[in-house]
């Protein structure tokens, strides 16, 4: 019985998540629904990386602000804050111990280099790794695919990598 319980607690799973136009009848969970559900149900921490965040994502930003006000640690990594400042303005007003925002520090030699990862980690247990930006087309218009990983080990690896990148000054706190 103990071995079975331990195995259930430490099991891992992966599930395909997709963005597609509503007219496509695809039998996978939708990216937007998965993101909303994960953020809404977070109880300890939320880590998000985003290349492009548009005003289509504003509703989700309200949920993220509420979560931080409830004591959930939220860490957001963005590519180019200046380009997304209008969308993130409200979020910036709520920066606190529980809501931290980091910006990718561009390499002056390579103007095309960018934070292009699209990752969501919740409670250091569940990770969504996707091609979808946090925008209308990323959530609805495009065909995007991702993997929802239920794995504490993989979530920990993602979190550790992001922490290491902060230590290396690849990201700076806003």
Using the predicted structure, report yes or no on whether residue 2 has a pLDDT greater than 60.
no
Q: Distance (Å, rounded) from C-alpha 84 to C-alpha 44?
A: 26
pLDDT at 96: 93
Q: Shortest CA distance to 42 belongs to which of 2, 9, 61, 70?
A: 70
Using the predicted structure, report yes or no on whether residue 10 has a pLDDT greater than 70.
no
C-alpha triplet 110, 116, 118: angle, nearest 5°: 170
Q: Shortest CA distance to 158 belongs to which of 81, 79, 43, 75?
A: 75
CA 87 to chain centre: 16
Using the predicted structure, report yes or no on whether residue 14 has a pLDDT greater than 70.
yes
Residue 103: half-sphere exposure toward Cβ, Cα within 13 Å: 12
pLDDT at 58: 82
Cα dihedral angle (9, 159, 33, 97), rounded to 10 degrees? 110
pLDDT at 125: 97
What band does 5 get if pLDDT is binned at 50, 70 and 90?
low
CA 171 to chain centre: 16
CA 49 to chain centre: 5
Q: Distance (Å, rounded) from C-alpha 148 to C-alpha 98?
A: 25
| pLDDT tens-digit readout, 47-104 | 999 898 888 788 888 999 999 999 999 999 999 888 888 888 888 999 999 999 999 9
| pLDDT tens-digit readout, 106-153 | 877 888 889 999 999 999 999 999 999 998 899 988 999 999 999 999
pLDDT at 159: 97
């Amino acid at each position: 019985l103990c071995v079975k319980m331990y195995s259930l607690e430490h099991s891992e799973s992966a599930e395909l998540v997709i963005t597609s136009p509503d007219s496509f009848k695809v039998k996978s969970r939708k990216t937007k629904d998965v993101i909303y559900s994960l953020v809404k149900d977070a109880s300890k921490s939320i880590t998000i990386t985003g290349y492009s965040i548009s005003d289509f994502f504003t509703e989700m930003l309200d949920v993220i602000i509420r979560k931080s006000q409830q004591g959930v640690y939220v860490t957001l990594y963005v590519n180019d804050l200046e380009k997304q400042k209008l969308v993130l303005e409200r979020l910036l007003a709520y920066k606190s111990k529980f809501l931290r925002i980091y910006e990718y520090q561009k390499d002056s030699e390579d103007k095309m280099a960018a934070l292009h990862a699209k990752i969501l980690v919740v409670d250091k247990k569940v990770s969504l790794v996707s091609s979808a930006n946090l925008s209308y087309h990323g959530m609805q218009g495009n065909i995007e695919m991702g993997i929802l990983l239920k794995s504490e080990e993989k979530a920990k690896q993602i979190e550790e990598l992001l922490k290491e990148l902060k230590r290396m000054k690849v990201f700076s706190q806003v």
